[in-house]
């Protein structure tokens, strides 16, 4: 099949249109009942473990002569002024009581034969030193530490076919070619603003989750680009964040005046500030460097709303020469193909934060409720990252780390997307680079 022309990115002066192609064993776990019981795993000695953690700057062990050993956490996980003292059997514990029940500390301490430790709260530095001198009473003193809840977040596993143009989804879990897609979340309850040519809200891929945003009267798609982009972000079949809310902003028909883009970004910022809802913006548009546009994008980000932008389709040009690809705080996305090569049309350079699938991508068509179409361009790469960000915000919200737009949201989005991305996977990119990867995510709380 001939490669589709670039859906590219929507050009601020003239829209780069696409040639679209419409598309009208079981596992068994066997365990023998007669199998021998596995021996208990021998745990490592606590001294060795502490030495290793001390080398990693997780904790500090102080073992001065004539003082009880003191273990303190240096990674921020320790509880200030709170310790657990391991006691020597049969010792005079009254000495501990006399130290910590002085005038400045009214803590009540109870000792029990059933345990060999005591919890010490609100301990001053001077009292800690006195306790450390009780070498005939206390074996060691360890700073109290905050344990973390370790939760793995995974979306349902979906079957996708690379032959049907869904190779992009197939790559995101790091196992390309297995015809399966799984991510860290599904974006439920997260608002995604798609500033584009509008969206066909009746397409079945959106399952009724599209809201016509700005301007109300004309936000339905009459071009196809916006519907395709939105489907990659949050379509039930073609999308990454399959349960995200999608808000349509029509800023383009066949061209995208900067004035309309600026108005739409202001509308998004005001709407999100009023609602307080976690949100992300997709801008699959681009044109010559424009400081005003870059500043407008950065203003939205300063309001706690991540913005994902396309790097541009200027055939290996420097993305820093274009806007909004060069905006300081956005996530700027280049495109790669099914052979893990940078797509020949994709821009590159230091302004590109990462690459995502962007060549021969199949998603919803605007023509009717059921059709699909295939497009290529960094316009298709950016929405993969936008969907990943929406799913990430859902995970972090569910974990209790975030609840509303903030600077913390922006930091989390950039850190997690970049930390989870694969390094240096594309064969024809010489510089250090990242490729989008959305595995099941382990989050500590």
Q: Would you name the residues annotated as active-site residues? A: 196, 225, 379
**Contact criterion met (CB below 8 Å) for 5 and 376:** yes
Task: Tell me whether residue 230 is exposed, middle or buried, using C-beta atoms within 10 angstroms of its C-beta: 0 to 12, 13 to 18, 19 or more.
Answer: buried
Helix (H) or strand (E) holding 426: none
From the centroid of its chain, how far is CA 378?
20
**Contact criterion met (CB below 8 Å) for 219 and 227:** no
Question: Who's near 120: CB < 8 A, 6+ residues apart?
Answer: 82, 83, 84, 85, 96, 100, 107, 109, 131, 141
Q: Which residues pair with 354 in a beta bridge?
A: 333
Q: Measured between alpha carbons, how far is 169 from 173 in angstroms, rounded to an integer?
A: 8
Question: Who's near 6: CB < 8 A, 6+ residues apart?
Answer: 16, 18, 313, 345, 375, 376, 377
Question: Which residue in 409, 365, 408, 358 sits closest to 4, CA to CA?
Answer: 358
The pairing of beta strand 307-310 with beta strand 331-336:
parallel
Q: Measured between alpha carbons, how far is 179 from 161 in angstroms, rounded to an integer?
A: 5
Q: Measured between alpha carbons, how far is 227 from 250 in angstroms, rounded to an integer?
A: 11
Q: Which residues pair with 246 in a beta bridge?
A: 192, 210
DSSP reduced 3-state for 180? strand
Buried b (16+ CB within 10 A) or exposed e, 142-171: bbbbeeeeeeebbbeebebebeebbbbbbb
Residue 306 has a CB neighbour count (10 Å cut-off) of 28
Give the relative orientation of helices 378-398 and 225-234 as an angle to the nearest 10 degrees. 40
Q: Which residues pair with 56 in a beta bridge?
A: none
Angle of CA points 159, 438, 189, to nearest 5°: 85
């Amino acid at each position: 099949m001939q490669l589709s022309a670039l859906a590219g990115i929507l050009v601020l002066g003239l829209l780069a249109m696409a040639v679209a192609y419409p598309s009208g064993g079981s596992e068994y776990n066997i365990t023998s009942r007669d199998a021998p019981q596995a021996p208990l795993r021998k745990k490592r000695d606590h001294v060795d473990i502490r030495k290793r953690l001390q080398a990693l700057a997780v904790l500090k062990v102080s073992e001065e002569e004539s003082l009880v050993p003191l273990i303190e956490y240096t990674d921020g996980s320790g509880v200030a002024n709170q310790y657990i003292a391991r006691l020597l059997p049969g010792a005079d514990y009254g000495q501990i009581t006399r130290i910590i029940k002085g005038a400045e500390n009214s803590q009540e301490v109870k000792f029990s034969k059933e345990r060999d430790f005591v919890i010490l709260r609100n301990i001053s530095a001077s009292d800690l030193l006195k306790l450390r001198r009780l070498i005939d009473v206390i074996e060691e003193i360890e700073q109290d530490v905050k344990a973390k809840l370790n939760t793995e977040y995974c979306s349902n596993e979906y079957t996708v076919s690379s032959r049907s143009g869904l190779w992009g989804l197939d790559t995101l879990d790091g196992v390309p070619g297995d015809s399966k897609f799984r991510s860290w979340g599904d974006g439920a309850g997260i608002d995604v603003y798609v500033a584009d040519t509008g969206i066909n809200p009746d397409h079945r891929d959106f399952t009724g989750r599209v809201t016509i945003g700005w301007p109300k009267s004309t936000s339905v798609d009459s071009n196809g680009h916006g519907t395709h982009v939105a489907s990659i972000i949050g379509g039930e079949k073609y999308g990454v964040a399959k349960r995200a809310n999608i808000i349509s902003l029509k800023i383009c028909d066949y061209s995208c005046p900067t004035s309309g883009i600026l108005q739409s970004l202001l509308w998004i910022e005001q709407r999100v500030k009023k609602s307080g809802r976690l949100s992300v913006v997709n801008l699959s548009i681009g044109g010559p460097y424009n400081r005003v546009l870059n500043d407008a994008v950065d203003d939205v980000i300063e309001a706690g709303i991540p913005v994902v932008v396309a790097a541009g389709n200027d055939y290996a040009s420097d993305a820093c020469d274009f806007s909004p690809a060069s905006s300081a705080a956005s996530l700027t996305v280049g495109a790669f193909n099914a052979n893990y090569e940078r797509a020949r049309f994709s821009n590159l350079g230091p302004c590109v934060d990462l690459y995502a699938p962007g060549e021969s991508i199949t998603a919803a068509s605007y023509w009717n409720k059921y059709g699909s179409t295939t497009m290529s361009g960094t316009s298709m790469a950016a929405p993969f990252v936008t969907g990943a960000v929406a799913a990430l915000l859902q995970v972090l919200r569910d974990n209790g780390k975030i609840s509303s737009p903030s600077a913390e949201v922006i930091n989390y989005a950039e850190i997690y997307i970049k930390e989870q991305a694969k390094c240096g996977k594309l064969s024809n990119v010489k510089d250090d680079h990242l490729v989008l990867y959305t595995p099941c995510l382990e989050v500590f709380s």
